[in-house]
Amino acid sequence: MKVSKKFIKTSPDKIRPIVALIKKMPFESALTQVKFLNKMAAKEILEILKSGLSAAKDKDIEMENLQILEFRCDEGPRLKRRRIIHKGRATTINKRMSHLTLILSDEKNNKSEIPNPTQNKNRV
């Protein structure tokens, strides 16, 4: 199942280290890992993990069987602002946004959902 959250007003550079930390983790340990992180971006990641958990409960999948297949942080639009500096000049300030995408599956269907491009049987 796929869960996404868009237009998060945090830079992708601040979110990506946290995403890299919990990628390919079992869902339960990733949830506890993010709860105790001392980062502001962890709040946004915790929200999307809880959203994925509620989507799994709707499909009657237990939390112990959930696995994070893919967790992606893409760059969203930038808000471009101006700031006056010395001698009346202006400089631009880019306020960046992020898009988060979380793909979950249960352990039973883990192999069938991700095709491995290196094992192509039609190769000669």
Q: Which domain holds residue 58?
A: 2-110
**Number of independent structural domains in the chain:** 1
Phi, psi of 20, deg, nearest 5: -65, -30
Average pLDDT, the chain: 87
Within a domain: residue 120?
A: no
- Please write the tens of the pLDDT for every residue from 27-70: 899 999 999 999 999 999 999 999 999 999 898 888 888 888 89
User: Is the pLDDT reported for residue 124 higher than 70?
Assistant: no
| pTM value surpassing 0.85 | no
**Amino acid identity, residue 111?**
K
Q: Put the strands of the sheet holding 90-106 in their side by side order.
A: 2-8, 90-106, 66-84
Q: Flag whether 83 is in a domain.
A: yes
- Return the CATH number at 35: 3.90.470.10
Residue 42 domain-assigned (yes or no)? yes
Residue 122 within any structural domain of the chain: no
Q: Would you say residue 43 lies in a domain?
A: yes
Q: What is the 3-state secondary structure (H, E, C) of 47-110?
A: HHHHHHHHHHHHCCCCHHHEEEEEEEEEEEEEEEEEEECHHHCEEEEEEEEEEEEEEEEEHHHH
How does pLDDT run across 3-18, given as a tens digit for each residue? 999 999 999 999 999 9
Cα–Cα dist 22/26, whole Å = 9
Asked if the structure places residue 123 within a domain, the reply is no
Please provide residue 21's backbone torsions phi and psi, each rounded to the nearest 5 degrees.
-70, -40
User: Residue 19 domain-assigned?
Assistant: yes
